Every structure is written in structure tokens, then in C-alpha cells.
Amino acid sequence: MQLLLDKYAPHLKPGRDYRATTLEELKRTAVYRIDIKQWSGKRKKAADDFPGAFFYPYNE
């Protein structure tokens, strides 16, 4: 779980931004991998108008 958080939200840290996960919670947790075969959608250039939103750069 921490590896996923480190990859997708590296700015968030356990003990500072959220409570660390306990072993008991991990026993009740499942992580699934989903292979996406097709993707579509709209792209917004900035997240300035959404307080608390994070902008992740798009690699073109």
C-alpha cells in the first residue's frame, strides 16, 4: 500500500498527512491490478480552480 502511495501521492507522508496503516487493516485489504486496454477523456491544463487539487504533468 505504501508503494502505491509513494508512486501516486509522493507529497503525502504517513504520520504527517495521514495515519499509518496497521497490520490488522492490511489483513482486510486487497489490491487489484487492472490492465487498461483503451482510454479516452478530456484533459484540463490546470487545476488552479479546484482548491486542494493536485496537477500531475502529462508526458506527451
Per-residue model confidence as pLDDT tens digits over 11-55: 998 889 988 888 999 899 998 889 989 888 777 666 556 666 666
Which tops the pLDDT comparison, 16 or 57?
Answer: 16
Residue 19 lies in a domain: yes
Which cell numbers in the block locate residue 11?
507529497
Range of the domain at 1: 1-34
Question: Could you tell me if residue 42 is inside a domain?
Answer: no
Tell me whether residue 55 is in a domain: no
Total domains, the chain = 1
Any domain includes 52: no
pLDDT, position 52: 64
Q: Would 28 be classed as within a structural domain? A: yes
**pLDDT exceeds 90 at position 1:** no
Q: Is residue 16 part of a domain?
A: yes
Element (H, E) at 6: helix 2-8
| Residue 57 within any structural domain of the chain | no
Rounded CA Rg of the chain: 15
Residue 13 lies inside a defined structural domain of this protein: yes
